Structure 1
Amino acid sequence: MNRHWGKLVTGFLAVSVLGAAGVWAYDSSTDREGAPGMFSASGRLELRAVRPSSGTGGRIVGLSVREGQRIRSGDTLAVLDSRAQTTRLTAARAAAAAAQEAVVSAARQADAVSTRLEQARREAERYRRLLEREAVSRQLAEQAETAVEQLESQLRAARAAEDLARRRADAEAARVRVAEIELDETVIIAPVDGVVSELLLRQGEIAAPGYPIMAIRESGNARLQVYLPLDSAERVQTGDSARVFVDAYPDRSFPGTVETVASEAEFTPRDVHMPDERATLVYEVAIRVEDPSGMLKDGFPADAWIRWDPGTAWPESAPW
């Protein structure tokens, strides 16, 4: 990078397989000599990695993308063999339909008992009035009361059976929803915009449930990780503004925001080649970079200017 705003000392750190940022540089005199209220640092951009998977698993019968392909959220990435899921869904729907029919039948039986109970209660009341006038025997009146008690018991049993049938129907409906989800998960959909960085499985291979099928680097969600010494890091706060520059687009900057500032110091990562840099205690600062157009790529070298003093205006153009 041929950019100077104060004196920069640049070290190099390779990007690890975990995607950690590399190549950091910082000059503690920058804010005093070249840009009051700001600090500079360098690193490599890291795009968030997304690894789509299927919750149901199965053999991959269709793979719609290739490595390096740019994709949009909602695109179909892969299709799994869905025969087993289709069979389970068909069986679940049949069981749910039968369970719903059982609910209807149980409800009808309970309603029929309820109707008979109302009739028995009216009959028992009529016998009580006749007994008061001594128009019927006590035995007939007691038989009418017994009939009411028996029908009340039958109604409780019928309502319990109806309630049980409804719970079974609810359980079968839940199984249908699970089967539908499992069938839906045989089609892997892109959750974000981005670029397919790696295919972890190929067509014809079996994807285990939850095992990622590919890796996607999400566009528009870049992160830059830099390191600052204590006297600089203590002035930087979460939410501070930043401007990020990359060699690929020398005539523009990308706005950023300080996302995190480490609370504990660490030695400069050992992959930095300069011994004096490795021996320096620094604080990790993560910057979220705005890139709605998806112009930035994973691993781009980048320079960042962090504005720790909100009263400092950004220059109209970078002085390099």
Structure 2
Amino acid sequence: MFKFVLPLLLLLIAGSGVAWYVEQENNSNSATATRAFYGNMDLRQVDLAFNDAGRISDIFVQTGDPVRAGQPIAKLDTRRFDAALAAAQAQLAANQAIYEKLVHGSRPEDIERLRAVVAADQANLQLRERTEARLTTLTQQKLASPQDLDTARAQRAAAAAQLKADQAQLQLAVIGNRPEDIAAAKASVEAATAAVHSAQIARDDTVLTAPSAGIISNRLLEPGDMASPAQPVISLALTNPRWARIYLAESDLGWIHEGMPATIHSDSFPDRSFAGWVGYISPTAEFTPKAVESPSVRTALVYQARVYVCDPADQPLRLGMPVTVKIARDARPVARGADPCAPEPAAP
């Protein structure tokens, strides 16, 4: 009986060894099918400043407040800008009135008045001509002095000149204004309109707004401080996009490509994983930064990559947070133009 037990025991031992080897090989294959990379969370920060110099009257946010795109953040004292806008609007109104006056020309009442003036000038000239004729006859008869005749002749000449001037003025009133004068007045209106727009823009820029959604990371100035275009008021951390900054070895470039899906893990949230995708791989190599926790040799040349995060609504991943990024070797990059964060369609 012992002869049968010993071969059976050896067979069981051999089978156990084969099973252990297969399990270890499967574990080894599964371990190499997904690579882990180590890095930190990163995002963009912008320092917001006013376009014009002025005294800050209000700041509407506190450090740590979330803001949406277009939300007012701070405001300047608007008194100077209101006065400049009012002056520009008044100048526009004056130029517009001059332009309309030239375009419309003389009023019918003005033309009728000028015609009446011309008629009066004609009657006055006829009177002066008759007076001159009488004095000429009287002078020849020695009944009037030559001085009286000279006075009559001068009055007749003055009446003729006045008639000619008033007739010219009437003709200009009937013809209308010169096109050059109208064009110059129109250009003045356009310049005044541009000045109003510029003053309005300056007035609107007294309110500083968020360019994008983000979180207030710092208040650099306070109400009462003087602001200028070169002096930021608020530091804003943009929450979209955010990415994990990792470093790839040269041997990884053959299988990691932009668009490949990835998962991001953080020690702060051990029970959660965050979806993402490889969005950027640097075209140039660099030395591994000392701040990066990587099992590879730190002096080796690596390539920076960004793994963008499909962040959930609560946005738990913060700037500088250490993370582990896992990328499967057999993962397929998303199609060009497709949304990497879009859920996969359900299987039929």
TM-score normalized by the length of structure 2: 0.62
**Any idea what the Cα deviations from partners look like across 1:188-222, whole Å, max 9, x if unmatched?**
12222222111111221111125321111122421
**Any idea what the Cα deviations from partners look like across 1:91-148, whole Å, max 9, x if unmatched?**
1111111121122112112999xxxxxxxxxxxxxxxxxxxxxxxxxxxxxxxxxx9x
1:1-320 equivalences under 5 Å are: 34-36=31-33, 38-109=34-105, 158-272=178-292, 277-293=297-313, 294-307=315-328, 309-311=330-332
Does the CA contact (< 8 Å) of 2:39 and 2:292 recur in 1? no
Alignment correspondent of 2:12: none
Alignment correspondent of 1:116: none
SS at 2:98 equivalent: helix
Relative to structure 1, is the Cα distance of residues 290 and 34 closer, same or farther in structure 2, using a 3 angstrom cutoff?
same
Relative to structure 1, is the Cα distance of residues 111 and 268 closer, same or farther in structure 2, using a 3 angstrom cutoff?
farther
SS at 2:272 equivalent: coil
Take 2:299 and 2:272, find their aligned partners in 1: how far apart are those partners? 34
Bigger CA radius of gyration? 2
Take 1:200 and 1:215, find their aligned partners in 2: how far apart are those partners? 7
SS at 1:204 equivalent: coil
**Any idea what the Cα deviations from partners look like across 1:149-182, whole Å, max 9, x if unmatched?**
x98xx77x72222222222211111111111111
- Tell me, which stretches of 5 or more residues in structure 2 are unaligned? 1-26, 109-167, 334-348
SS at 2:224 equivalent: coil
Take 1:94 and 1:206, find their aligned partners in 2: how far apart are those partners? 29
Take 2:28 and 2:90, find their aligned partners in 1: how far apart are those partners? 72
Relative to structure 1, is the Cα distance of residues 90 and 298 closer, same or farther in structure 2, using a 3 angstrom cutoff?
same
TM-score normalized by the length of structure 1: 0.67
Does the CA contact (< 8 Å) of 2:247 and 2:303 recur in 1? yes
Higher helix share: 2
The one-letter amino acid of 2:326's match is W
Does the CA contact (< 8 Å) of 2:38 and 2:292 recur in 1? no
Deviation of 1:233 after TM superposition, in Å, equals 2.3
